[in-house]
């Protein structure tokens, strides 16, 4: 079975590539290396350094004839999408439509899409939020992801394309870059290791910061394998269903660093504080029940184990 994965040199995509390669899939990557890194590339995968908005994408389909398309390439920054909505739409919407058209033309068996549960639902009273909640995206990034989902549904209804959409909560783990959709673990860790004082954003009345559902990247990679091998179609939250506030997360990181022998400045025991930026959701916790019941996927890493694994990577080996 051959899979073409876009964004396979990025943070999540590279773990998905590793998981496919470990399972014996033949893996082809399309990545323009705008945020992805060559050192993330699995040595058994073939890389085409191509932009997903470029016409030459067709040549890759023509040459490789993949069975599955797994689409992770994207403009991933929410603030950048606010400043540059046209660029965001070009990469995220136009890029996805191109992939869907090529999937139609080349008879792709299944299309898997990395969507966002962290951003797409907006502020909602349904906590934890299930897939039943009607999305109320509040940023161009979340709007573009929802538009992609709708295009995928169109290709499914109209052309019978098999698909699975995975709405990730806040993904963290080795190889994460600090400026993505949900980079707070990477931001805190990198700042603390370079002896800078991290900032915690909070609403005036909620001093512990925003509450998020942190899911470890290897669990996310496994969800992609199960999605590839499942007979189901549909939209699935990939999350833990458990919320952690930013202060608690900060304390877990400083504690784990100290346990690993890293000196943390006394002044850094508490983070610096700043008011939340417009658009920062107060709470985002996603209900993973549907993925548990239909994909037989459940997060195996709790936040403590996930942070230990992530910090090991920062401290002992960045591969
Ligand atoms: N990080 C999270 O918590 C999170 C949450 C929900 C959804 N997602 C989604 O998961 C996917 C991967 O995110 P990530 O955090 O690994 O980000 P990332 O920036 O590490 O990975 C994105 C990859 O896509 C590549 N890319 C970007 N634009 C491209 C283009 N035009 N053509 C070809 N390649 C391009 C980049 O070089 C990079 O390798 C994205 O679709 C993102 O929206 C991430």
CA distances from 267 to 202, 207, 254, 271 (A): 19, 18, 12, 8
Structural domain includes residue 272? no
Ligand 1 atom with minimal separation from the 8 CA: 39
- Give the sign of the dihedral formed by CA 73, CA 238, CA 22, CA 302: positive
Regarding the beta carbon of 7 and ligand 1, being less than 6 Å apart is answered yes
Q: Give the catalytic positions in this structure.
A: 141
DSSP assignment of 124-181 equals -S-SSBPTTSPP---SHHHHHHHHHHHHHHHHHHHH---EEEEEE-EEE-TT--TTST
The answer to whether residue 105 is domain-embedded is yes
Domain range for residue 43?
Answer: 2-171+216-239+287-292
Please state the pTM of the whole predicted model.
Answer: 0.97
Q: What is the pLDDT of residues 124-170, one digit of tens each?
A: 999 999 999 999 998 999 999 999 999 999 999 999 999 999 999 99
In a domain, 317, yes or no: no
Q: Is the CB of 140 under 6 A from ligand 1?
A: no
In a domain, 203, yes or no: no
15 lines ligand 1 (CB under 6 A): no
Residue 221 included in any domain: yes
Q: Tell how far the Cα of 150 is from the centroid of ligand 1, in angstroms.
A: 19
Residues 122 and 177: beta-carbon distance below 8 Å = no
Is the pLDDT confidence value at 257 over 90?
Answer: yes
- Centroid of ligand 1 to alpha carbon of 9 (angstroms): 9
User: Which residue minimizes the CA distance to atom 28 of ligand 1?
Assistant: 74
Residue 268 lies in a domain: no
Pocket test for ligand 1, best of 6, 8, 15, 34 (most atoms within 8 A of CB): 34
Q: What is the dihedral of CA 145, 147, 152, 155, to 10 degrees?
A: -160
Share of the chain above pLDDT 90, in %: 91
Quick one: which atom of ligand 1 is closest to the CA of 91? 31
CATH number at residue 115: 3.40.50.720
> Is the pLDDT assigned to residue 181 strictly greater than 70?
no
User: Residue 63: inside a domain, yes or no?
Assistant: yes
What burial class does residue 14 get, using C-beta atoms within 10 Å of its C-beta: 0-12 exposed, 13-18 middle, 19+ buried? buried
Output the CA 181–ligand 1 centroid distance in Å: 9
Please state the domain count of the chain: 1
| Rounded CA separation 149/235 (Å) | 9
């Amino acid at each position: 079975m051959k899979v073409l994965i876009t964004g396979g040199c990025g943070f999540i995509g590279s773990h998905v590539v590793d998981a496919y390669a470990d399972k014996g899939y033949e893996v082809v990557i399309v990545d323009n290396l705008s945020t992805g890194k060559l050192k993330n590339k699995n040595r058994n995968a073939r890389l085409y350094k191509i932009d997903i908005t470029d016409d030459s994408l067709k040549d890759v389909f023509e040459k490789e004839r993949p069975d599955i398309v797994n689409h992770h390439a994207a403009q991933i920054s929410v603030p950048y999408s606010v400043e540059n909505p046209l660029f965001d739409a070009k990469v995220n919407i136009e890029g996805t439509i191109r992939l869907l058209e090529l999937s139609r033309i080349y008879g792709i068996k299944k299309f898997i899409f990395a969507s966002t549960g962290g951003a797409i639902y907006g502020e909602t009273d349904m906590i934890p939020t299930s897939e039943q909640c009607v999305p109320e995206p509040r940023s161009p990034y979340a709007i573009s992801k929802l538009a992609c989902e709708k295009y995928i549904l169109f290709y499914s209804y109209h052309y019978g394309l098999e698909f699975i959409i995975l709405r990730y909560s806040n993904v963290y783990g080795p190889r994460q870059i600090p400026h993505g959709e949900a980079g707070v673990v990477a931001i805190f860790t990198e700042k603390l290791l370079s002896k800078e004082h991290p900032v915690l954003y909070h609403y005036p009345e909620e001093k512990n910061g925003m509450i998020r559902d942190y899911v470890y990247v290897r669990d996310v990679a496994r969800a992609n394998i199960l999605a590839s091998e499942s007979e189901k179609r549909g939209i699935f939250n990939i999350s833990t269903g458990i919320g952690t506030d930013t202060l608690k997360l900060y304390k877990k990181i400083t504690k784990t660093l100290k346990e690993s022998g890293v000196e943390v400045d006394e002044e850094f025991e508490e983070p610096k504080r700043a008011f939340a930026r417009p658009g920062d959701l107060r709470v985002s916790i996603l209900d993973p029940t549907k993925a548990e019941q239909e994909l037989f996927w459940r997060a195996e890493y709790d936040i403590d184990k996930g942070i230990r694994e992530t910090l090991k990577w920062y401290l002992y080996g960045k591969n």
